[in-house]
Amino acid sequence: MDWLLLIGLLALLIVGAIAAFYFHAFVVRTREEFRAEQPDLRITNLSAMKSGNVLTIYPEIENVGGGVAYDCLLHMGGWEGNFSVRKVYPRGPRYQKHVASIVLGPDAPVRAKLINNGYIRLRYLDCWGQKYDCWYQVAQVEDGDTHLYNVLIDLEHPQLNEPDPSLWEMRKFLRTIPLYD
């Protein structure tokens, strides 16, 4: 009797270990497939031009992820405008870098007065309508000649706000990937 109980427990342990292995592989594969379909927009390059008292900043927006980003919107605190793009494609046949133009005149709030928490916000959606945010810190440096502030943008340390769906939501999303966009 003791041998039968021991063999039964050993068989149950082996079946449980095999089931756990396959479930873990299923979870890892699902997360990798989901991550491969997510967009990942970043400001990859930044240039600036100063003409008199007008400072123009040109951030270059690029999709370094695997999926298409929809309804992209770039906004800078202390700047009255915004930059928007309907679709930003990942690397492939439709790949394109987008360059925004942020014109900051002497009357722009980010140039005229000191702002406590300066930022550039890059907001976009994935093909399932989930919202992503990428925030870049903006520092201000006073220009001694004009007493206006110049801006310094930290591209190395963006703050990311990404959705965190459950495993079952990921599976549901992966089953509803649109064939054509």
Calculate what percentage of the chain has a pLDDT beyond 90. Answer: 58
Candidates 3.30.200, 2.170.220, 1.10.530, 2.60.40; correct CATH number of 40-164? Answer: 2.60.40
- Residue 81: pLDDT band (50, 70, 90) is confident
pLDDT of residue 26: 95
* Domain range list for the chain: 1-36, 40-164
Taking 80 as the threshold, does the pLDDT of residue 119 lie above it?
A: yes
The predicted model gives 89-111 an average pLDDT of 88
3-state secondary structure the chain: CHHHHHHHHHHHHHHHHHHHHHHHHHHHHHHHHHHHCCCCEEEEEEEEEEECCEEEEEEEEEECCCCCEEEEEEEECCCCCCEEEEEECCCCCCCCCEECCEEECCCCHHHHCCCCCEEEEEEEECCCCCEEEEEEEEEEEECCCCCCEEEEECCCCCEEECCCCCHHHHHHHHHCCCCCC
Taking 90 as the threshold, does the pLDDT of residue 168 lie above it?
A: yes
The predicted model gives 18-42 an average pLDDT of 94
Taking 90 as the threshold, does the pLDDT of residue 142 lie above it?
A: no
